[in-house]
A and B are shown apart, each in its own frame.
Chain A
Amino acid sequence: AQTVTQSQPEMSVQEAETVTLSCTYDTSESDYYLFWYKQPPSRQMILVIRQEAYKQQNATENRFSVNFQKAAKSFSLKISDSQLGDAAMYFCAYSRRETSGSRLTFGEGTQLTVNP
């Protein structure tokens, strides 16, 4: 079974600084997808960024980027120029390339605090 581990239950960053959230996963598959979802205080989950395992290039979305190390099974999220609105719980998630059903496996989450 696939597992996703986020080893940092809590992280903090100063506004305008950069922070990196860690995620590792365990799988025997070679083709899969990885995601970072954000859960703000409203508790409505929002997709931040996604990565296809067969793509070497790291995904980026504005201030958010990932460092995808396939051999190490590592998928970290870097937030640049942190803003107060970035404060949230961040979940790393994994999905196999299945033909039916979207079976996301989530990590335990990292609570990010942004200090003004």
Chain B
Amino acid sequence: DGGITQSPKYLFRKEGQNVTLSCEQNLNHDAMYWYRQDPGQGLRLIYYSQIVNDFQKGDIAEGYSVSREKKESFPLTVTSAQKNPTAFYLCASSVSAAAYEKLFFGSGTQLSVL
């Protein structure tokens, strides 16, 4: 079945540690996104990528980094510079980055700080 796979489902970060969230898609989509969801708030865009080897900052990119070396993969690293990383992280993809495109989402990763 085609879709987006995020792993792990739950992740714990220690003080000063970098952690990486995985996102893989087999939909052959060009565009991929990372969103952060906090309780009682809507989703906020962290980074997005329109094509392989290219990515742009979203609204809350500070303390995060990404790479897009393969079309299928768009991992997100939460660095130690992100002082409040506890949140639910959603990865998404779309056929293209055009504004009208439907986003397909993964099942998310819940990140907590130990």
| Distance, CA A52 to CA B106, complexed state (A) | 25
Q: Do A50 and B108 have beta carbons less than 8 Å apart?
A: no
Chain B neighbourhood of A96, CB < 8 A: 99
Tell me the count of chain B residues lying within 8 A, CB to CB, of chain A: 27
Tell me the count of chain A residues lying within 8 A, CB to CB, of chain B: 29
| Distance, CA A106 to CA B90, complexed state (A) | 13
How many A-B contacts if CB must be within 8 Å? 68
Q: Do A101 and B102 have beta carbons less than 8 Å apart?
A: no
Q: Do A102 and B33 have beta carbons less than 8 Å apart?
A: yes
Q: In the complex, what residue of chain A is closest to B43 when comparing beta carbons? A: A106
The smallest beta-carbon distance between B41 and chain A, in angstroms, is 6
Other-chain residue from A44, A106, A108 in contact with B107 (beta carbon distance below 8 A)? A44
Other-chain residue from B41, B45, B50 in contact with A104 (beta carbon distance below 8 A)? B45
Q: Do B107 and A42 have beta carbons less than 8 Å apart?
A: yes
Q: Do A95 and B42 have beta carbons less than 8 Å apart?
A: no
Chain A positions near chain B (C-beta within 8 angstroms): 4, 9, 32-33, 37, 42-47, 50, 52, 91, 93, 95-98, 100-109
Chain B positions near chain A (C-beta within 8 angstroms): 31, 33, 40-45, 48, 50, 56, 58, 88, 90, 92, 94, 97-103, 105-108
